[in-house]
A and B are shown apart, each in its own frame.
Chain A
Amino acid sequence: MSDSSEIRVEALLKRLLGPAGAELSCEQCFEELDRYVELALRTADADATMPGMRAHLEGCSACKEEYQSLCALLAADG
């Protein structure tokens, strides 16, 4: 048994099964993305304020990429 195989299977299962809890839709995610990112960067509890966002970002790789880009762009702005 190899640890890396287990990790790969775990990642595959995660992609196929998605998040277990309730999540936002892609439209809701985009609508709230700017507020969520600013909250997250201010270290406020963004996930408590916006339930379902984190789960959606785990389940939707496209939305997650855009979340990461917005975080990176704001960080670059300083």
Chain B
Amino acid sequence: MSRAADVSGRAADVSGRADGASARGGRASGRRATAAALDAESRAWLRSLRSEEEGREEAIARLHALLLRAARFEMARRRSATAAMGSDERDELALQCADDALVAVLAKLDRFRGGSRFTTWAYKFALLETAVKLRQRRWEDREIPVEPAHWELLDGSTRAPHAAVEQRELLDAVARAIDSELSARQRSALIAVALNGVPIDVLAERLDTTRGALYKTIHDARVKLRRRLAADGHLGGPPGEG
């Protein structure tokens, strides 16, 4: 069986399971994009992908080609992350990203609400798969600095000896607030992502959580910091609540 056919089959299985689950839950017609809200091309995509006839396989193949193009586009934008790979490895990775995006798109087809063209909606899955995989690869053998052993990086006098006095004072106040206001998990996440530049999905995987949950941790940490800084007169206005 060719790779494309194999992925199509896997995607069809996923789609079938999604359809079955939807039906069992009493598929709400409101969850599907209404035909009137869609442009003609998006309508045609949905019709073909939901068809139970021969046209569906051809539509899945076209969709896979579209997603593969998006995956290659993203890889080209991240040349530094792919520089060490051979061309075969790059090709295989792009295919893997397109495969995974295809499965995701077909599984979520009923969640397409027509807010954009279908192709734009589908693209974002391929870009996400590719970006995440490249970030993971780049960090796969690296230790992630999440421990609060890098406070000296936040010392205003060493980090920014030439910055304005107010900025250095603010930086020092932030460092104190990080130490006094945040939980250990909030400190680690904020330091790793915001200070040390660790990609959030890489850290999320290491911590066995999701990107969304980890961002919530960072968001809550930032709200605490802003509250403390505002209370101490370092920031004007109320802190963001998110």
Contact = CB atoms under 8 A, between A and B. Distances in A.
A1 interface: yes
B60 interface: no
Nearest to B74: A69
A44 interface: no
B115 A34 contact: yes
A13 B124 contact: no
Interface in A37-68: 37-38, 55, 59-62, 65-66
B157 to A, nearest CB: 12
A2 B190 CA distance: 27
Given A9-B171, A70-B127, 12 more contacts: A5-B163, A9-B156, A9-B164, A17-B229, A23-B240, A25-B212, A26-B215, A34-B124, A35-B116, A59-B222, A61-B193, A69-B74
Interface of B: 70, 73-74, 77, 115-117, 120-121, 123-124, 127-128, 131, 135, 156, 159-164, 167-168, 170-171, 174, 178, 190, 193-195, 199-201, 211-212, 215-216, 218-219, 222, 225-226, 229, 237, 239-242
A19 B77 CA distance: 26
Contacts, number: 130
B116 A38 contact: yes
Contacts of A62: 131, 135, 199-201, 211
19 contacts: A8-B160, A12-B160, A15-B195, A16-B190, A17-B229, A23-B219, A34-B121, A35-B115, A37-B120, A38-B115, A38-B116, A62-B201, A69-B131, A70-B124, A70-B127, A73-B73, A73-B74, A73-B127, A76-B73
A75 B167 CA distance: 38
A77 to B, nearest CB: 8
Interface residues of A, number: 41
Contacts of A60: 200, 215
B171 A66 contact: no
A10 B174 CA distance: 12
Contacts of B240: 18-23, 55
A51 B241 CA distance: 14
B124 A9 contact: no
Nearest to B120: A34
A27 B77 CA distance: 23
A34 B128 contact: no
A59 B124 CA distance: 19
A1 B162 contact: yes
A12 to B, nearest CB: 7
Contacts of B162: 1-2, 5
Contacts of A26: 200, 211-212, 215
Contacts of A74: 120, 123
B160 A9 contact: yes
Contacts of A8: 160, 163
A23 B131 CA distance: 22
Contacts of A10: 167
